[in-house]
């Protein structure tokens, strides 16, 4: 969602603001803008659509200043238009914002009554106008920031500049993340550490309610009661997986192909360095024992939620622990009754998803042990959970999650195996056998990738469809849900996933010769039942794509289907193998339809508002 960059620089900042906005494109946005303090005072340039439009606008009409803020906007209140794009300026104040000011309507009418005017339909503009009104009432800039922040309900990460203070910038966070970057004679604000990575690796993660005042040489941080506070300066590791596409046409394809490596890297962190056995990382010492855990809850959103739905089968089947998965936006308001001695896992690529973070806080208040399964070690969810089980997928730039999903599966599988061993539902021998299968995941995923050409060819079956259904049983049911999500996200084809057994309870009414059905059905104990469902669809002339292994494809011979043969593998690791097929189907279909694969319309990578 909205990306923020701020620089108090010792050289002109426009080029760096623009370069950063390009790096933030992956978060999802529909307009962008930059403001700087130039010799004419506060000036800004804004445009709708891609950053290239803003770049063109800056080429025609450059901005030269040493202090500046930049923003990519993902519209919430008010359409994506130049007028609604950030930065917003009121009088001598310019601001950028990520989040939602929930009481904006009340503040707006109060300020209107006081004679202030508004130019936009956004919630954000009240921030600029309120600070401006406080300045006009005689407060100093710093006092005005402190006073204004106390009036806002909702979530915000803010970057604020005053025309009267060309070498100063203010930042504030509540709900939405914001980092301060400490450079060499320069200071930065960023919506995440990746934003400012090229400029500095020394960062301060502002805490809830914190705000800050930055000059080129100094920073001060204040808490929500305006008391000066010390916050830890952290050195963030530079990610070795660079955030560029290499020779791939899209980040998504690059990330799909990175999976053998990202899974291996993740599993390596879960392998004992001396004995070579699977185990939880040393620094993730659990202060509880899975043998005494009564229930496991897993809370997450989007693709991460489907990873937990797969893992739900593992925790129950392997470790015999009652397990429940939840969508974070529902969980957080449902006031769920949580069993004593339970453990809650929060699975998130970004570690910043607003609903997942709120659900984590709910569990902490309830006194439940919290475990974060996150890809960004320094994220809010990682920092607030009791224990972190990292996924080591590296930066994921494509909006549609791929390598983060399989890394999440890997961590959840190892955790379920660990729980099974602790509870005695798995013997040492069984654990060893499963560990051998886990060790094969990387090579099986690699083998799956080698079928890319065939996978691309089968996409002809679905690329012109208006609706596509995905069916599966057991762990392949949540995989079907994930396959459908991937397809709709990037190809804009309406796609739904169903449990194959539910076919007769509704979805079958939708089957025509124009609705392709993708069956995910390797030869496990449920294969025959899946094939019966496949026959039912075929009998109604639905075009079928069966994704199975060699035996499954052979045995389905005769049914009027297109088949896609995936590598044979142990059933435990089949979700990894079949994910690759579903990801590539979505990818190639989207490419055939000519959509913007890496930045699909309306979607954001990191959903930091509710």
Nearer to ligand G6P, 382 or 417 (CB): 382
Nearer to ligand G6P, 75 or 135 (CB): 75
Segment interacting with ligand G6P, rule: CB under 6 A, options 110-118, 191-199, 299-307, 555-563: 299-307
Nearer to ligand G6P, 547 or 607 (CB): 607
Of the residues 350, 491, 533, 548, which one makes contact with ligand G6P according to CB under 6 A: 350
Q: Give the Å distances, CA to CA, from 115 to 108, 134, 546.
A: 11, 13, 66
Query: In which element (H, E) is residue 298 found?
Result: strand 296-300
CA distance 279 to 421: 10
Of the residues 338, 459, 607, 609, which one makes contact with ligand G6P according to CB under 6 A: 607
Using alpha carbons, select from 158, 151, 150, 243 the residue that is nearest to residue 198.
Answer: 243
CA distance 481 to 492: 15
Of the residues 401, 406, 548, 563, which one makes contact with ligand G6P according to CB under 6 A: 401
Q: Give the Å distances, CA to CA, from 62 to 87, 90, 135, 283, 591.
A: 16, 21, 29, 50, 36
For residue 256, state whether it binds ligand G6P (rule: CB under 6 A): no
Would you call 82 helix, strand, or coil by DSSP? coil
Alpha helices (H) along 29-124: 51-60, 104-113
Segment interacting with ligand G6P, rule: CB under 6 A, options 74-82, 133-141, 559-567, 600-608: 600-608
For residue 303, state whether it binds ligand G6P (rule: CB under 6 A): yes
Nearer to ligand G6P, 1 or 203 (CB): 1
Nearer to ligand G6P, 28 or 516 (CB): 28
Q: Is 363 a catalytic residue?
A: no
Q: How far is the CB of 302 from ligand G6P (least distance, A)?
A: 3
Q: How far is the CB of 431 from ligand G6P (least distance, A)?
A: 29
For residue 266, state whether it binds ligand G6P (rule: CB under 6 A): no
Segment interacting with ligand G6P, rule: CB under 6 A, options 159-167, 283-291, 343-351, 507-515: 343-351
For residue 176, state whether it binds ligand G6P (rule: CB under 6 A): no
CA distance 444 to 578: 10
Segment interacting with ligand G6P, rule: CB under 6 A, options 122-130, 158-166, 298-306, 519-527: 298-306
For residue 349, state whether it binds ligand G6P (rule: CB under 6 A): yes
Segment interacting with ligand G6P, rule: CB under 6 A, options 5-13, 102-110, 210-218, 297-305: 297-305
Of the residues 356, 491, 523, 583, which one makes contact with ligand G6P according to CB under 6 A: 356
- β-pairing, 369-374 vs 343-348, is parallel
Give the list of residues 6+ apart from residue 345 with CB closer than 8 angstroms, or none.
296, 297, 298, 299, 308, 370, 371, 372, 373, 389, 412, 415
Q: How far is the CB of 446 from ligand G6P (least distance, A)?
A: 23
- Tokens coding 30: 């529909």
**Which residue's CB comes closest to ligand G6P?**
302
Nearer to ligand G6P, 160 or 607 (CB): 607
Query: In which element (H, E) is residue 533 found?
Result: helix 527-539
DSSP character at residue 349: S
Q: How far is the CB of 27 from ligand G6P (least distance, A)?
A: 9
- β-pairing, 93-101 vs 67-73, is unpaired
Q: How far is the CB of 307 from ligand G6P (least distance, A)?
A: 9
Q: Give the Å distances, CA to CA, from 2 to 21, 42, 87.
A: 10, 22, 12
CA distance 69 to 67: 7
Nearer to ligand G6P, 354 or 577 (CB): 354
For residue 353, state whether it binds ligand G6P (rule: CB under 6 A): yes
- Nearest 5°: CA angle at 501, between 497 and 502? 60
Annotated catalytic residue within 2, 301, 323, 363: 2
Q: Please give the full DSSP string across 362-418, using - where no structure is assigned.
A: HHHHTT-EEEEEES-TTSHHHHHSSEE---------SSS-SHHHHHHHHHHHHHHHH
For residue 583, state whether it binds ligand G6P (rule: CB under 6 A): no
On whether the CB atoms of residues 158 and 191 are closer than 8 A, the answer is no
Segment interacting with ligand G6P, rule: CB under 6 A, options 285-293, 462-470, 519-527, 601-609: 601-609
Q: How far is the CB of 289 from ligand G6P (least distance, A)?
A: 28
Q: How far is the CB of 582 from ligand G6P (least distance, A)?
A: 14
Using alpha carbons, select from 347, 381, 351, 348 the residue that is nearest to residue 364.
Answer: 381
Nearer to ligand G6P, 199 or 306 (CB): 306
How far, in whole angstroms, is CA 499 from its chain's centroid? 26
Of the residues 298, 399, 441, 609, which one makes contact with ligand G6P according to CB under 6 A: 399
> Dihedrals φ, ψ of 207, to 5°?
-95, 170
For residue 605, state whether it binds ligand G6P (rule: CB under 6 A): yes
Give the interface size with ligand G6P as a residue count (CB under 6 A). Answer: 15
Would you call 284 helix, strand, or coil by DSSP? helix
Q: How far is the CB of 55 from ligand G6P (least distance, A)?
A: 25
Of the residues 302, 472, 474, 497, which one makes contact with ligand G6P according to CB under 6 A: 302
For residue 414, state whether it binds ligand G6P (rule: CB under 6 A): no
Of the residues 284, 449, 454, 603, which one makes contact with ligand G6P according to CB under 6 A: 603
Segment interacting with ligand G6P, rule: CB under 6 A, options 184-192, 332-340, 342-350, 448-456: 342-350
What is the distance between the terminal CA atoms of the chain, rounded to a whole angstrom? 11
Q: Is 323 a catalytic residue?
A: no
Of the residues 348, 491, 523, 608, which one makes contact with ligand G6P according to CB under 6 A: 348
Q: How far is the CB of 258 from ligand G6P (least distance, A)?
A: 16
For residue 370, state whether it binds ligand G6P (rule: CB under 6 A): no
CA distance 243 to 240: 9
- Nearest 5°: CA angle at 540, between 534 and 453? 50
On whether the CB atoms of residues 153 and 105 are closer than 8 A, the answer is no
For residue 542, state whether it binds ligand G6P (rule: CB under 6 A): no
For residue 161, state whether it binds ligand G6P (rule: CB under 6 A): no
Q: How far is the CB of 71 from ligand G6P (least distance, A)?
A: 19
Q: Give the Å distances, CA to CA, from 457 to 60, 228, 415, 453, 563.
A: 45, 62, 37, 6, 11
On whether the CB atoms of residues 69 and 159 are closer than 8 A, the answer is yes
Annotated catalytic residue within 444, 486, 488, 605: 605
The catalytic site residues sit at 2, 605
Chain residues binding ligand G6P by CB under 6 A are 301-304, 348-350, 353, 356, 399, 401, 603, 605-607
């Amino acid at each position: 969602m909205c990306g923020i960059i701020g620089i108090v620089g010792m050289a002109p900042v426009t080029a760096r603001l623009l370069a950063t906005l390009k790096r933030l494109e992956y978060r999802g946005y529909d307009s962008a803008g930059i403001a700087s303090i130039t010799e004419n005072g506060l000036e800004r340039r804004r445009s709708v659509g891609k950053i290239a439009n803003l770049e063109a606008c800056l080429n025609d009409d450059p901005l030269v200043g040493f202090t500046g803020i930049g923003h990519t906007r993902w519209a919430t209140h008010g359409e994506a238009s130049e007028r609604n794009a950030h930065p917003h300026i009121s009088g001598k104040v310019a601001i950028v914002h990520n989040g939602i000011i929930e009481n904006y309507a009340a503040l707006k009418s109060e300020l209107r009554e006081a004679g202030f005017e508004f130019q936009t339909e956004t919630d954000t503009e009240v921030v600029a106008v309120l600070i401006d009104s406080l300045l006009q009432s005689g407060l100093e800039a710093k006092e005005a920031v402190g006073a204004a922040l106390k009036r806002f309900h909702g979530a915000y990460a803010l970057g604020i500049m005053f025309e009267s203070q060309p070498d100063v910038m203010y930042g504030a966070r509540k709900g939405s993340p914001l980092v301060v970057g400490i450079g060499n004679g320069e200071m930065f604000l960023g919506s995440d550490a990746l934003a400012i990575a090229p400029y500095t690796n020394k960062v301060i993660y502002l805490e809830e309610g914190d705000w800050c005042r930055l000059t080129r040489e100094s920073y001060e941080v204040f808490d929500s009661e305006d008391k000066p506070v010390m916050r830890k300066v952290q050195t963030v590791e530079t990610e070795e997986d660079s955030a560029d596409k290499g020779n791939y046409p899209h980040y998504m394809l690059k990330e799909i192909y990175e999976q053998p490596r990202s899974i291996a890297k993740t599993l390596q962190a879960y392998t004992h360095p001396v004995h070579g056995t699977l185990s939880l990382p040393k620094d993730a010492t659990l202060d509880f024992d899975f043998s005494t855990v009564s229930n496991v809850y897993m809370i997450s959103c989007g693709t991460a939620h489907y990873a937990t739905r797969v893992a739900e089968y593992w925790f129950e089947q392997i470790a015999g622990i009652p397990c429940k998965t939840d969508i974070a936006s529902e969980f957080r308001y449902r006031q769920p009754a949580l069993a004593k001695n339970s453990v809650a896992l929060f699975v998130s690529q970004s570690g910043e998803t607003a609903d997942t973070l709120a659900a984590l806080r709910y569990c902490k208040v309830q006194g439940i042990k919290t475990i974060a399964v996150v890809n960004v070690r320094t994220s809010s969810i990682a920092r607030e959970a009791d224990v972190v089980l990292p996924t080591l997928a590296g930066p994921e730039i494509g909006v549609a999650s791929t390598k983060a999903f399989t890394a999440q599966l890997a961590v959840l599988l190892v955790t379920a195996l660990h729980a099974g061993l602790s509870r005695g539902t798995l013997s040492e021998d069984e654990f060893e056998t499963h560990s051998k299968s886990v060790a094969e995941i990387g090579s099986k995923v690699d083998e799956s990738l080698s079928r890319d050409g065939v996978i691309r060819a089968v996409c002809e079956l679905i690329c012109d469809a208006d609706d596509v259904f995905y069916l599966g049983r057991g762990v392949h049911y949540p995989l079907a849900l994930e396959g459908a999500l991937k397809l709709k996200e990037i190809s804009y084809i309406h796609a739904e996933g169903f449990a194959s057994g539910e076919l007769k309870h509704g979805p079958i009414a939708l089957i025509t010769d124009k609705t392709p059905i993708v069956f995910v059905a390797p030869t496990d104990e449920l294969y025959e039942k899946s094939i019966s469902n496949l026959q039912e669809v075929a009998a109604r002339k639905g075009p079928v794509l069966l994704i199975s292994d060699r035996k499954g494809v052979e045995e389905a011979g005769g049914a009027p289907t297109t088949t896609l043969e995936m590598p044979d593998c142990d059933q435990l690791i089949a979700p990894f193998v079949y994910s690759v097929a579903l990801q590539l189907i979505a990818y190639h279909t989207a490419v055939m339809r000519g959509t913007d694969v890496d930045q699909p319309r309306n979607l954001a990578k990191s959903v930091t508002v509710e």
